[in-house]
Amino acid sequence: MNKDFSHYWDIYNISYNKHMKRTIIIDEAKESEIIETILESAFIPNVQQVIEIKDFLDKNIKKKIIPTINKVSGNPDLEINFVLCKNGIELQVMTPRELRLMLDDEFQDRIKIKNEEDKKRFLEQVITDWCSGKIKNGLLSVNKI
């Protein structure tokens, strides 16, 4: 996400110090506006969001590895799917995509990511880290946003 921040700069004073570096002076309102815009564009997953999703996955989802045959090579392969469980009873088998869509619906009001592509990458990373046990204290192994 490349944003153009040029319209945020109300320059009141440009001065040069002895090393010919520019100094730009802006007022506090503009500073707050610039910081808010930068933070919105550089989303860092909230630890609490990751913990809530992980807890939901731990309580309601089981990973299921299904042996399959690779359609291209014909070799045995393993496919990872997920099972929705309630009270220990398996209700529905889901693909990773279906699980991501279910999490998107379940947490739509709690995940504050405006860009849909970023939200998709965030949920995919949570699922990947949850499967491999890499979520530690609400932190993901990689921030792909």
Percent of the chain as helix, strand, coil, to the nearest 5: 40, 25, 35
Closest CA to 46 of 118, 145, 139, 114: 139
pLDDT 10s per residue in the chain (145 long)?
A: 455 555 544 444 444 455 656 667 778 888 888 877 776 655 566 788 999 999 999 999 999 988 888 888 888 888 899 999 988 888 999 999 999 999 999 998 888 787 888 889 999 999 999 999 999 888 888 876 6
Task: Give me the residue spans of the domains in the chain.
Answer: 6-41, 47-132
